[in-house]
């Protein structure tokens, strides 16, 4: 039997400011986070003021108390149980001794950063049924802090502002059409008094855009689309008209995709905002744009002016994307000496497996090299355009294409140490069986990937065994300096420190410090729940802390990872470390008992079980996992009790478990469909009895 593959599922004024701040470094800190402080964030070693620590998003801290010499004495200082292991991908912020972090369902928390005392929680009350329109769980990756307010996006498309002091709502704006399949999982960014926010949803069939809101009032300042709409409605800009020349057919019907669900980076020197743009909707160009074309600005880095959102330049990493190769992955700004000349660059390691160094003023391609084993392209042209493998686009029958849609690198933040000159990030090597569903028709209520997940016919090539490693990449020479093989295909985001350290977690709960220069393991902590979020570091009263969230989100939920697949795992926690500390954690949760044969009876024929499996593939798989083996976050359906089975229809159609996050599907399924799915789930339980 074919083993199913995992599914998919941010100059002058600044210069003066830096000088001014440097001049008053011995006096008490400025009372609040304003533009000047954000621009000078790099020299503010105590705090972690923005998602990527600074506007360059290098995630490199100058702190050195924890160093390659002392890290062996690092221990747990405090922890906080997040109440769930779901949706935990957030990067905390730290401002003047208060740590702010988001959790599942976009809930915002504030803690005393030294003691762990919880100061406040703001729950935006996300309607649980909206989880139906997220590919990769109910995650939130972070917040923005500005002038005494904390900003976060909510899963259901709102941008909320609360007071830093008490978590009290200041304003909220609905950034997406209510009831449509948009979601927000990425962190907002601050740019000159505006709050920037994008959204996800390309897999469901929406049109991507990024919005800028006035930070004080929540009024929309500008909005820039990433793909063209229906020409009959007129284009919003010349950039949209130009983009439309690269599309064909009636692409707008399914939205076109191109959602900007993660990387949005602001460059105050150039007054530019760089947007990482996602994949097309549907995935396959032949269905989306039958006449071919590059389909701008899918899978591109899009640079727009921060003041008004006007197009400045773009660089497309994957022209005419066909494989969910988003360019939403983390974007990082740096100054690099290339060919004897200092260049202001933007760097990215997007899903498609190539590491790009781009001139961030002009969009000129400077260099690019594959950082992973891939088979969809054999290299890049001197202009940075991929040299495709024709098999990967022909998609005749089924074709194993590497990397798969979760990408050679995904959302996991990368870090850059200016001393070593290396970029640290997790690499995933795997393939995906792409099969075009020729019968696909756009349906706004469901996933619109247009892949045939049930395909069992002939294939080109073979599936790759998924594997992963942590890589230290030299962006100047475009080569790997070192790597550490990992036991799992996925591993976490990274933190770099001036202590010559790189911190990173793994899905099996291992949290490590590596020597930045050579990758040697210098320290390790074992937690019972996986760690994939990016760590941060900060200091309070002269003590350096390292903080990281443990827990899961997407797409690890879909990888059926060892120790995670099919079984519940320990609690999601905020873990905070400091030298010489030794706080203790509760006893780990015991492993789940083996699956029992179901006692609930439901008469169904073999043909009906097979029909149920197809319905499951199209409706349930995204959350509950391949073959009804849960990724460990949402319930494993094979463990459903007779009581649960007795109300199966009320759960699926009636919303009986909606308060717990199970959406209702009464607009796409009927009673008979539910019976068939239930028959399939019962069969899978029977097949799994005695195991996990």
| Residues acting as catalytic residues | 324
- φ, ψ of residue 569 in degrees (nearest 5): -120, -175
Alpha-carbon distance values, 308 to 186, 223, 359, 651 (Å):
21, 8, 21, 46
CB 504 within 8 A of CB 512: yes
Name the one range near Ca ion by CB under 5 A: 85-93, 278-286, 384-392, 644-652: 278-286
Distance (Å, whole) CA 531 – CA 561: 13
H helices present in 326-389, as ranges: none
- Taking the least distance from each CB to Ca ion, the nearer of 175 and 279 is 279
CB 288 within 8 A of CB 376: no
CB 154 within 8 A of CB 106: yes
Minimum Å gap between C-beta 200 and Ca ion is: 8
Contacts of 684 (CB under 8 A, 6+ apart): 627, 628, 629, 637, 638
Bridge partners (DSSP) listed for residue 173: 159
Minimum Å gap between C-beta 84 and Ca ion is: 24
SS3 category, 231: helix
CB 487 within 8 A of CB 508: yes
H helices present in 376-511, as ranges: 390-394
Residues 317-336 that bind Ca ion (CB under 5 A): 324
- φ, ψ of residue 291 in degrees (nearest 5): -85, 10
Minimum Å gap between C-beta 650 and Ca ion is: 32
Distance (Å, whole) CA 335 – CA 366: 13
- Taking the least distance from each CB to Ca ion, the nearer of 149 and 279 is 279
Minimum Å gap between C-beta 330 and Ca ion is: 15
- Taking the least distance from each CB to Ca ion, the nearer of 77 and 184 is 184
- Taking the least distance from each CB to Ca ion, the nearer of 350 and 625 is 350
Minimum Å gap between C-beta 183 and Ca ion is: 12
Residue of 501, 576, 494, 585 whose CA lies nearest to 540: 576
- Taking the least distance from each CB to Ca ion, the nearer of 279 and 560 is 279
- Taking the least distance from each CB to Ca ion, the nearer of 131 and 279 is 279
Determine the distance from the C-alpha atom of residue 404 to the mean position of all C-alpha atoms in its chain, rounded to a whole number: 15
Minimum Å gap between C-beta 558 and Ca ion is: 12
Q: Which of 47, 91, 279, 431 binds Ca ion (CB under 5 A)?
A: 279
Positions of E strands within 317-401: 331-338, 341-348, 354-359, 365-370, 377-380, 386-388, 398-401
| Region class of 564: left (phi > 0), else alpha (psi between -120 and 50), else beta | alpha
CB 292 within 8 A of CB 257: no
Strand order in the sheet with 158-163: 144-146, 149-153, 158-163, 169-174
Minimum Å gap between C-beta 553 and Ca ion is: 14
Minimum Å gap between C-beta 283 and Ca ion is: 8
How many residues belong to the site for Ca ion (CB under 5 A)? Answer: 2
SS3 category, 31: coil
Chain positions contacting Ca ion, by CB under 5 A = 279, 324
């Amino acid at each position: 039997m074919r083993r199913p593959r995992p599914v998919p599922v941010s100059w002058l004024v600044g210069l003066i400011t830096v000088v001014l701040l440097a001049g008053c470094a011995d006096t008490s800190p400025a009372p609040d986070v304003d533009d000047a402080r954000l621009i000078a964030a790099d020299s503010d070693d105590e705090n972690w003021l923005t998602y990527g620590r600074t506007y360059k998003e290098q995630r490199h801290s100058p702190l050195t108390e924890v160093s390659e010499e002392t890290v062996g004495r690092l221990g747990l200082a405090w922890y906080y149980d997040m109440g769930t292991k779901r949706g935990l991908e957030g990067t905390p912020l730290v401002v003047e001794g208060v740590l702010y972090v988001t959790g599942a369902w976009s809930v915002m928390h504030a803690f005393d950063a030294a003691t762990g005392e919880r100061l406040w929680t703001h729950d935006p009350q996300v309607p649980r049924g909206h989880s139906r329109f997220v590919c990769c769980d109910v995650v939130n990756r972070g917040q923005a802090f500005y002038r005494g307010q904390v900003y976060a996006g909510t899963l259901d498309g709102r941008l909320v502002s609360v007071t830093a002091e008490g978590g009290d709502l200041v304003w909220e704006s609905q950034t997406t059409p209510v009831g449509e399949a948009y979601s927000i999982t990425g962190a907002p960014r601050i740019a000159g008094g505006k709050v920037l926010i994008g959204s996800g949803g390309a897999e469901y069939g929406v049109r991507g855009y990024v919005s800028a809101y006035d930070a004080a009032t929540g009024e929309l300042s500008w909005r820039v689309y990433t793909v063209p709409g229906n020409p009959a409605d007129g284009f919003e800009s010349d950039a949209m008209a130009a983009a439309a020349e690269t599309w064909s057919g009636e692409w707008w019907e399914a939205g076109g995709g191109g959602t900007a669900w993660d990387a949005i980076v602001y460059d105050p020197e150039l007054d530019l905002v760089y947007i990482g743009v996602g994949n097309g909707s549907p995935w396959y160009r032949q269905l989306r744009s039958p006449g071919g074309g590059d389909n701008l600005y899918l899978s591109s880095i899009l640079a727009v002016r921060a003041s008004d959102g006007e197009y400045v330049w773009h660089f497309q990493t994957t022209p005419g994307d066909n494989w969910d190769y988003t360019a939403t992955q983390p974007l990082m700004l740096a100054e690099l000496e290339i060919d004897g000349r200092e260049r202001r660059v933007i760097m990215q390691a997007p899903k498609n497996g190539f590491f790009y160094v781009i001139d961030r003023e002009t969009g000129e391609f400077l260099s690019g090299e594959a950082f992973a084993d891939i088979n969809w392209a054999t290299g890049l042209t001197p202009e940075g355009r991929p040299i495709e493998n024709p098999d990967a686009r022909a998609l005749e029958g089924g074709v194993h294409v590497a990397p798969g849609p979760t990408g050679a690198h995904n959302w996991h933040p990368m870090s850059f140490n200016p001393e070593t000159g290396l970029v640290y990030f997790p690499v995933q090597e795997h393939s995906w069986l792409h099969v075009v569903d020729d019968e696909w028709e756009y349906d706004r209520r469901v996933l619109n990937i247009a892949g045939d997940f049930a395909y069992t016919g002939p294939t080109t090539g073979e599936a790759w065994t998924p594997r992963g490693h942590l890589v230290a990449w030299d962006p100047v020479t475009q080569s790997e300096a070192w790597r550490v093989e990992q036991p799992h295909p996925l591993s976490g985001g990274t933190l770099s420190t001036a202590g010559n350290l790189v911190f990173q977690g793994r899905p099996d709960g291992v949290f490590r410090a590596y020597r930045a220069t050579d990758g040697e393991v210098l320290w390790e902590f074992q937690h019972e729940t996986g760690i994939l979020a990016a760590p941060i570091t900060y200091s309070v009263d002269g003590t350096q802390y390292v903080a990281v969230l443990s827990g899961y989100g997407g797409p690890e939920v879909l990888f059926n990872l060892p120790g995670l697949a099919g079984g519940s795992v320990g609690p999601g926690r905020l873990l905070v470390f400091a030298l010489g500390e030794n706080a203790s954690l509760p006893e780990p949760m015991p492993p789940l008992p083996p699956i029992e044969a179901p006692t609930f009876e439901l008469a169904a024929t073999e043909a009906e079980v097979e029909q149920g499996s197809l319905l499951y593939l199209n409706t349930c798989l995204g959350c509950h996992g391949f073959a009804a083996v849960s990724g460990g976050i949402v319930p494993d359906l094979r463990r459903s009790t007779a009581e649960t089975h007795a109300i199966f229809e009320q759960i699926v159609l009636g919303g009986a478990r909606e308060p717990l996050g199970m959406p209702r599907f009464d607009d796409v399924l009927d009673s008979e469909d539910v019976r068939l799915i239930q028959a399939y789930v019962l069969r899978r339980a029977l097949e799994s009895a005695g195991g996990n």
